[in-house]
Amino acid sequence: MASPYRAIFETPGTRAFSVAGLLGRMPLSMMGIGIVTMISQVTGRYGLAGALSAALAISAAVLGPLVSRYVDRYGQRRVLRPVTLVSLAAAAGLLLCVTFRLPDWTLFVFTALVGCVPSLGAMTRARWAALYEGRSGMLHTAYAWESIVDEVCFIFGPIISIGLSTIWFPEAGPLIAGIFLAVGVFWLTGQTATEPKLRPREEHSGGSALRSPGLQVLALTFIAMGAVFGAVDVVTVAFAEERGAKAAASLVLAVYALGSCLAGAVFGMLRPKGDASRRWLVGVAAMAVSMIPLLLAGNLPLLAVALFVAGMSIAPTMVTTMALVEVHVPRAKLTEGMTWTGTGLAIGVALGSSAAGWVVDASGAAAGYVVPVVSGAAAVVVGLLGYRRLRRSAPTREGQREREHEEREHEDGQQPVA
């Protein structure tokens, strides 16, 4: 492990909550694609599969920030355990409905309830923020590590979910995702030493964290970015099936995540300097441009190469986003603020997966890659329109953190990157 990463794990308890967070985040990449695979296996209807995946994403988008707001007020252990039990019970109901071929509306009801699953990524990032408050260099590396964990989940999650559902039985992917969720949440919430301390009640006044203009720009842009991710997942499964290799879709999607993982690992060892909002906008534009080659991929190997390159812009953009959220959101609402970016992604995934499912049903998988291209362009447009607002609304503590960053460069053993 490179020295910046080794440094962040010197604090006791960091390794344990990081592993628990990894396990609890596996359903993030397993449940949606598991539902798509399960429904397409059982019914052969990609439109229904995409719609259910969209329902899951919308539910998570609505319930996720509410769960995180209560976490900020009452703590992770008191809130996460009961909501996780509700999500697990709903997942069990969904699998029973599929097994017994119950009407479509029952699938949507239970899928919506599964969406109260907590955002484990926001919970672990909040722990890092509490441990290294004011230490921008350490937090940059910690957020990069969390992006690597996200991508590890997206590398192995689809492989496990799609593989189990195609080789074992259709419901196997979502079933194992539920097991990962239960283990991760109950292990994480059992680690009270690193749980963020609750802020005074008066600091929670002023309404939702989403009232921050900067956070609004980030969340809106992430809706379009989420549409990219949701569309890529659905279309890639269909693309592989059309070529008689449906199980290979998990490997192709893993390559997509691998590109992001490697880029995030390198980015975490650097110390970027300058305007974070400009760096964020460049990352959004790079993600959009990287979607264009997908239209030209005529086979799975070429598609894998194109997705690997496309993935390299994801993690650096996500790391920069988390740094911007910390700048724009009050400390007492940080977990909620981080969840709102995930909510934007979830809404986008809902739109993208649903649109892609209908396009695939109507025109085939190759045409489906138009959806992420258009979604990427939309992300750039929203980012450009909100860029000045993002910079103008940044609190003065951004400059303070830049100074802290420079003061700690020697401590962290790193040199700034021009």
pLDDT digit string, tens, across residues 61-78: 788 888 988 898 898 999
Query: Which phi and psi angles does 185 have, rounded to 5°?
Result: -65, -45
- How open is the CA angle 358-363-343, to the nearest 5 degrees? 30
Compute the distance between CA of residue 175 and CA of residue 238 in angstroms, rounded to an integer. Answer: 22
- CA distance readout (Å), 358 to 236, 265, 350: 14, 36, 12
Average pLDDT, the chain: 83
Share of the chain above pLDDT 70, in %: 91
Residue 417 forms beta bridges with which residues? 272
Q: Environment class of residue 279 by beta-carbon count within 10 Å: exposed (0-12), middle (13-18) or buried (19+)?
A: middle
Give the DSSP letter string of 264-299: HHHHHTS-B-S-HHHHHHHHHHHHHHTTGGGGG--S
Q: Which structural domains are found in the chain, ordered by start?
A: 14-191+207-412 (1.20.1250.20)
- pLDDT of amino acid 408: 44
Which pLDDT tens digit goes with each residue over 180-209? 999 999 999 999 889 888 876 665 666 677
Task: State how far Cα 388 lies from the chain centre.
Answer: 25
What is the reported pTM?
A: 0.78
* pLDDT score of 407 more than 70: no
Q: Which of 226, 202, 265, 241 is nearest to 348 (CA)?
A: 226
Query: Which phi and psi angles does 65 have, rounded to 5°?
Result: -65, -35
Task: State how far Cα 352 lies from the chain centre.
Answer: 15
- pLDDT of amino acid 3: 75
**Which pair of tokens denotes residue 266?**
């390198």
**Higher-scoring residue by pLDDT: 250, 395:** 250
What band does 406 get if pLDDT is binned at 50, 70 and 90? very low
